Amino acid sequence: MAITAKPVAPEKNPRLARKAKAPLTTRDNLSALIGTARKILRKDKGLNGDVDRLPLLTWVMFLKFLDDLEAVHEEESELDGKPYQPIIEAPYRWRDWAAREDGITGDELLAFIGQEQTVRADGSSGQGLFVYLRSLAGESEKGSQREVVANVFKGIQNRMVSGYLLRDIINKIHGIHFSASEEIHTLSHLYESMLREMRDAAGDSGEFYTPRPVVRFMVQVSDPRLGETILDPACGTGGFLVEAYDHIAPQVSTPEQRRTLQRASLYGQEAKPLPYMLAQMNLLLHGLEAPQIAYGNTLERRVSEIGHSERVDVILTNPPFGGEEEAGIKANFPPNMQTAETALLFLQYIMRKLRVAGAPLPRGAGMGERVDRSAECGGRAAVVVPNGTLFGDGISAVIKEEMLKEFRLHTIVRLPQGVFAPYTDIPANLLFFERGGPTDTIWYYELPLPEGRKKYSKTAPLQFEEFAPAQAWWNAREEGPQAWKVDFAAKRSTAIDAATPHWQRAEAERTAALALGKPIREVEQGIATVNGEKGNKSALQERLRTLKAQQQNHDQTAKSAQAEGDALYWPIYNLDQKNPHAKAGLEHADPKDLIARMRGHEAEVMRLLGEIETLVNEVEQ
């Protein structure tokens, strides 16, 4: 075979030769694309900062994601020879109105998205896009993907005032291929960084974002396993569920196990429309194909009606701090534990939702099995709570009493100030407990601030690496500079022994007061039936005054004795225990010691003043 010689190209001037640019990676491409989209959003006058921009970017990405997902499912159904029922029908699919770069734009695009009735991209008249999407809830069964879509768009509004800029955004997002796993993986990390930025921009509205280092630590030490059910009842943007998914995913080795992880493992609930949408997007991007996030207020459920079939193995959550619930919500809780404080209501809900050891599991729960099984051990929880929950008395103490009686509160991790900045500077704690009490020993671990730091902040946040000593300590516990334990069983026994005589005296006094009820009624009847005998009536009235005074005295003594007993018992439920190994500081000193020390200093000052005064007098003489 003859070989044809190829002409040799003339050599280029080396000074004119340019170095070839390296092709952009998927991450670089997506970062540039998202960055450009965000620059476009900044031009629109209807959007006020990242708090408005990220939700808009999210709902646009959500619709593109959904269309890419549906295209894959349509293709699979076609190969299987089965009809496909789409979630979104034409002409509302992304491909119908958004895919063409020169598609509808300007006021026409804004009208199609936001109006009740409009002219659609195919020229026909009908419902606007958002109205159509919200109507999907009424056409589908509860928990279906159509209902998810309807709930996502229930609280969403298009705040952009320029339809031309919105078209530019749509064209940019159309460049993302949600059917490519590498792009989804990269976008999931970009999306999380945007969520952090939104949290920072939101200030006191950032409660639905928990710092990822805190989330990762809680998930890793709780160690959810494949086949367990995991719940976040206040899931915000889905951070705990995403981390739990990533933690369990490496345990999957069969298609059946993959189905279990996808369909019967992770559950959440969120009451606010914005974080609900953000959570759906976050979970979809991380690989959960059909996120099972309920929409609505978790606390609307009457806790006494929660049965074994609704209970779960693991709860990971950061309930809202400082919120207050209405009277109707409080009525869903036991009368002696009703409070308006959201964090305390969530704590009760979590306690009721944890699996009971030996209780029957619902059929098909975990690993896709279809046999009747019982839970081998009680459920466990990791919960973020503010300091107020630890030291709170009254109803807060009653709730903690039940927790420490029915559950094993084995660990409290004390976080430094500023971990949740800028949302709040309130110091927070991580409670780790499991069903199967009572609590005997409580371990405390105080996470230290880095050397030279007074608190964390938005610009210098907590890093996951700073949890490494706590993780090393977790399974090899010893007391040390950051760790100490409290023998709660001994504290409880001592307190009960000390309080019991007072309570017994209070009970005896109450019994005595009740016993006087009958003679008091008899004397009152006698006074009512006395006819004209003034002396007898006066004697009876005097007798009545004496009996009532005795009854009042018994009641007062009972109250006093009860209070004395309570004062010895209830303080044990103040879990705000200071680190005994910390350097003694003014804030940790006993108030009596402080007063004595100040008086000592005052005496020393007066002595010195007296000596000075004597010296001055001697000089003058």
Residue 599 has what pLDDT? 59
H or E element, residue 280: helix 273-285
> Taking the chain, what is the end-to-end CA distance rounded to the nearest angstrom?
132
pLDDT band at 286; cut points 50, 70, 90: confident
Residue 584 has what pLDDT? 54
Could you give the CA distance from residue 237 to residue 195 in angstroms, rounded to a whole number? Answer: 8
CA atoms within 13 A on the CB side of 618: 6
Could you give the CA distance from residue 287 to residue 246 in angstroms, rounded to a whole number? Answer: 9
Q: Beta strand pairing status for 230-232 and 125-127?
A: unpaired
pLDDT value at 611 more than 80: no
Residue 477 dihedral angles phi and psi, to the nearest 5°:
-80, 130
pLDDT value at 349 more than 90: yes
Residue 268 has what pLDDT? 97
pLDDT band at 532; cut points 50, 70, 90: low
DSSP state of 580: T
- Spell out the residues 6+ positions from residue 429 whose beta carbon is closer than 8 angstroms to its own: 384, 385, 386, 387, 389, 390, 412, 413, 414, 415
Could you give the CA distance from residue 567 to residue 369 in angstroms, rounded to a whole number? Answer: 52
Residue 50 has what pLDDT? 79
Dump pLDDT digits (tens) for 375-400: 678 999 999 999 999 999 999 999 99
Residue 151 has what pLDDT? 84
Dump pLDDT digits (tens) for 213-223: 999 999 999 99
pLDDT band at 147; cut points 50, 70, 90: confident
Residue 166 has what pLDDT? 96
* Average pLDDT of every residue of the chain: 86
Strand stretches in 58-98, DSSP E: none
Could you give the CA distance from residue 409 to residue 378 in angstroms, rounded to a whole number? Answer: 13
| Total-model pTM | 0.80
- Spell out the residues 6+ positions from residue 269 whose beta carbon is closer than 8 angstroms to its own: 232, 233, 234, 235, 293, 294, 295, 296, 298
pLDDT band at 183; cut points 50, 70, 90: confident
* 265-277: average pLDDT: 90
Q: Tokens 């880095």, residue?
A: 450
pLDDT value at 21 more than 60: no
Could you give the CA distance from residue 28 to residue 186 in angstroms, rounded to a whole number? Answer: 9
Residue 510 dihedral angles phi and psi, to the nearest 5°:
-65, -40
Q: Tokens 């100040």, residue?
A: 598
Q: Which of 12-16, 86-90, 131-135, 501-505 has the lowest mean pLDDT?
A: 12-16
Question: In 3-state terms, what secondary structure has residue 315?
Answer: strand
Q: Go through 533-546 and write b for each residue having 16 or more CB atoms within 10 A of its CB, e for each that does not.
A: eeeeeeebeebbee
Dump pLDDT digits (tens) for 297-311: 999 999 999 999 999
Residue 598 dihedral angles phi and psi, to the nearest 5°:
-65, -40
- Going by C-alpha positions, the residue among 40, 284, 356 that lies closest to residue 173 is 40
Residue 273 has what pLDDT? 82
pLDDT value at 559 more than 90: yes
569 CB neighbour count, 10 Å cutoff: 19
pLDDT band at 15; cut points 50, 70, 90: very low
